[in-house]
Structure 1
Amino acid sequence: MTAMAPARTETDLSFLLDHTSHVLRTRMAAALAEIGLTARMHCVLVHALEEERTQIQLAELGDMDKTTMVVTVDALEKAGYAVRRPSSVDRRARIIAVTDKGAEVAARSQEVVDGVHRDALASLPDDEREVLVRSLNRLVGGHLATPVESPQVARRARERQR
């Protein structure tokens, strides 16, 4: 006797969210690469411009581990977009200060990011766009607001099962 796969009773929300997120990240990476930035570099620049923040605070905001943050800030420094310097409130802490050149590229990268998001949403009719954004915001602020601890974290988008 051959076992049959169980029938799916719900929409595969995991696939839909994973796939769209993965494709959006690849489009974002390609668009930012055209101006010489990564998504992480953009994230650090924008958050560092908002207020004085330490490397640790910026790493947390960008969901980066310490090593990735150091590599990202090294790249920003090499490009002349940011510098590490002591905090004005805690001399032991190091903040990331954005240079004038970095502020200019952050303004441009924000336009790029906004354009990628605008293009994705523009592929939907207006009424569907508003419902999607409202619904995703409701999930992010409600049922899917907080990750659940798990011994195994899935990172990669999976292929659609046919």
Structure 2
Amino acid sequence: MTAPANARTAPDLSYLLDRTSHVLRTRMASALGEIGLTARMHCVLVHALEGERTQAQLADLGDMDKTTMVVTVDALEKAGLAERKPSSADRRARIISVTPAGAELAARSVEIADGVHEAVLGSLPKGDRDVLLRALNRLVEGELSTAVEATCARRARQ
């Protein structure tokens, strides 16, 4: 007698990571939406404040394609939160400069993001929280540090 084709021999790690990631993203989107930001806008503002970065560098940090990055920066400019300026290192490149209003909103968005993360992690006993964070960091720095190209894989809708 053979085992059914759907019998699992290992935990469904893909489901667990996808589900928790999806729900965390929706909670973050809702919380940041209360101050008029998307998660992408938050990402661009926070990383642009860390130092002079080009649109391409910020897109890489936020895992955004070129088109999504342009749309995000357009929205930030329209809201008066950021502006494109020539790079001091490469005049052909544009950096994203955060305005004072953008810096103020970025500080609020960091508090909001930290609050969402704390609420999620706070739902776990401290020992479990520490183990989870250690394990996820090991995966991010090790086995899952580099994405592979797959012609059949599709990115989930954001």
Output the TM-score relative to the length of structure 2. Answer: 0.93
CA distance in structure 2 between the aligned counterparts of 1:82 and 1:16, rounded to whole angstroms = 36
Residues of 2 paired with 1:4 and 1:52: CA distance? Answer: 56
Q: Which residue of 2 aligns with 1:113?
A: 113
1:2-81 counterparts in 2 under 5 A? 4-81=4-81
Where in structure 1 are there 5+ consecutive unaligned residues?
158-162
Tell me the SS of whatever aligns to 2:8. coil
Identity within the alignment, %: 72
Give the Cα separation in 2 of the matches to 1:148 and 1:90: 30
Q: 5+ residue gaps in structure 2?
A: none
Please tell me whether residue 130 in structure 1 is matched to residue 130 in structure 2. Answer: yes
Relative contact order (alpha carbons < 8 A, sep ≥ 6): 1 or 2 greater? 1
CA distance in 2, matches of 1:29, 1:47: 18
| Distance (Å, rounded) in 2 between the aligned partners of 1:73 and 1:138 | 32
Aligned to 1:160: none
Using the TM superposition, give the Cα deviation of residue 155 of structure 1 relative to its aligned residue in structure 2, in angstroms: 3.1
Supply the distance in 2 between the matched residues of 1:80 and 1:32 (Cα, whole angstroms).
17
Question: Counterpart in 1 of 2:94?
Answer: 94
Which one-letter code corresponds to 1:140 in the other structure?
V
Q: Which residue of 2 aligns with 1:152?
A: 152
Q: How many residues align?
A: 155
Shift of 1:147: 1.6
Moved over 2 A (4+): 3-6, 154-157
Question: What's the Cα RMSD here?
Answer: 1.5
